[in-house]
Amino acid sequence: MNYFNLFKIPQEFCINKKLLKKNFYTLQIKYHPDKIKKKILHINKKKIFSYNINQGYQILKNDFKRAIYLLKILTIKIKNFKKLIIVDQKILKKQFKLYEKIEQLKNINHNLNQILIFKQIIELKIKKNFSNIAFEFHNKNFFQVQKILYKLLFLKKILKKINLLYDKKNNVS
């Protein structure tokens, strides 16, 4: 099942999320299993289809999941992200620097502002990388999309660590 076709939206990275949401609710109303009470077999099919609608919506509304899904549809096998580290040492160096920054922030006593500033920097990097993914999809440069997805996966981990650090320091104050 192609979720782009299911929700009647173009098979592209940049989608109209309002249209996606509207079509999601239309499908849910039409295929929700509680609305049909005729035959048990028919109801089970509706439940399965309702599950597919929910799953497709969760994938397409999330930029990261949608990028991975679109690569799969385009028959591009997502390369092992660990191999990309070896290929691109620049990415690896940037990762080490970000981990070092988190360690520095751990050692600073009760300075939540520096943590928040670092969090904003990471959020901007994430936003920029999603813009880069859109550009690379448009240019059909799927290897670059994979590299950016790797960066995003790492940045999401960093953001999670920053949020944990902020919560920990904020509770100590």
Full-model pTM: 0.79
Note whether 74 and 142 are within 8 A (CB): yes
pLDDT average, residue stretch 105-118:
85
Helices 89-107 and 112-138: crossing angle in degrees, nearest 10, is: 160
pLDDT, one tens digit per residue, over 118-146 is 999 999 999 999 999 999 999 999 888 98
How far CA 168 is from CA of 105, 110, 115, in Å, comes to: 12, 10, 11
pLDDT of residue 66: 96
Q: How far apart are CA 114 and CA 95, in angstroms?
A: 19
Average model confidence (pLDDT) across the chain = 85
CA angle at residue 101 from 100 to 102, to 5 degrees? Answer: 90
Residue 47 has pLDDT above 70, yes or no: no
The architecture of the domain spanning 81-172 is Up-down Bundle (1.20)
pLDDT of residue 26: 93
